[in-house]
Amino acid sequence: MDQNSRVIRGIEAKKSRNVASQDDRVRCLTLNFLSYKMLIPNASVAEVTEPGNIQPLLGAPEWFGGMLKWREQDIPVVIFEKVMNINASKPQKYRRVLILNTPNNKGCSPFIALGCQSIPSLNLIDEVRVAPGDKNNESVTYIKLDGEDYLIPKISFLEDIVSEVMAE
């Protein structure tokens, strides 16, 4: 079961409870991109930081933004818009970078960075606000939050594609 399925199943499991409390909510970051909105469970985020200096990696795919120096480590940067085949901004135009924990720690890095065009906002999401989305694919899970379409990136998928590039 991937991480997104656990988050959605956790929210859906809480629907059966009669009393909603703060403990029944999932803490998530919401992000606005030019053509979509993203939701990331707070437990997946190690830190939100400034973009800093991202060094390109020669010969890497277009979606690979380069390497970001963070806490004395080189962290691979994923241009998520390019993974989704959406027209992407350049990494230096990002306002913040999310450092994400990788779920499987495949050896390339225990973290992956995602650039954000907006400043993420923290939200407590409860079950009455969430409905399943219309589609899913190997890289994202789609949901409706307050009637609006959001996507949740599958961090394990991002880890897999980054590991392939780093192994070359």
Place of tokens 């060094």: 55
**Three-class SS state of 112:** strand
pTM exceeds cut of 0.85: no
Q: What is the pLDDT of residue 70?
A: 92
pLDDT digits (tens, 9 = 90+) for 31-62: 988 778 999 999 999 999 988 888 988 899 98
Candidates 2.40.50.180, 3.40.1080.10, 3.40.50.1980, 3.90.550.10; CATH matching 3-10+26-167: 2.40.50.180
CA distance 50 to 59: 25
Q: What is the mean pLDDT of the chain?
A: 83
Q: Closest Cα to residue 114, out of 80, 82, 156?
A: 80
What would the mean pLDDT of 154-161 be, rounded to a whole number? 92
Place of tokens 């780093």: 166
